């Protein structure tokens, strides 16, 4: 499962309820400005392999309403005049099925 990643410009940390934290495994780092909450996620190699094979990403939201949302491979937070970069550098571990 994807994990939340610290990124330049993050200004808040959300700590899910105990049950959710067990599923996620850690806090969620985000940027908040009163109008939006933006977070950055690192996918596992197996997830990246699946996306490469299918070209799709699935999104699950809790509740009955769908908020206005965006899903992007590019940073949605700027630092000065450039896109923010992840602070936690590293690539996902290669999956056994990736053959890489």
Greater confidence, 100 or 15?
15
- Number of helices followed by number of strands (H, E) in the chain: 2, 7
Q: What's the CA gap between 60 and 20, in Å, rounded?
A: 14
Mean pLDDT score, 94-100: 56
Q: Please tell me the predicted confidence (pLDDT) of residue 92.
A: 58
Alpha carbon distance 92, 30 (integer Å): 20
* Residue pLDDT, tens place only, 1-34: 788 899 999 999 888 665 455 565 578 899 999 9
**What residues does each domain of the chain span?**
3-61+69-83
Of residues 18 and 38, more confidence is placed in: 38
- pLDDT exceeds 60 at position 83: yes
> What pLDDT score does 19 carry?
47
4 and 41 Cβ atoms separated by less than 8 Å: yes
31 φ/ψ angles, rounded to the nearest 5 degrees: -110, 130
Q: Which percentage of the chain shows pLDDT scores above 70?
A: 76
Question: What is the chain's mean pLDDT, rounded?
Answer: 81
């Amino acid at each position: 499962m994807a994990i939340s990643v610290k990124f330049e410009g993050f200004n808040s940390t959300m700590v899910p309820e105990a049950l959710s934290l067990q599923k996620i495994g850690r806090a969620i780092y985000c940027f908040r400005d009163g109008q939006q909450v933006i977070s950055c996620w690192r996918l596992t190699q197996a997830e990246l392999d699946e996306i490469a094979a299918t070209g799709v990403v699935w999104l699950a939201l809790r509740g009955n309403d769908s908020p206005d949302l965006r899903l992007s491979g590019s940073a949605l937070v700027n630092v000065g005049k450039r896109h923010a970069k992840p602070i936690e550098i590293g690539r996902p571990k290669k999956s056994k099925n990736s053959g890489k």
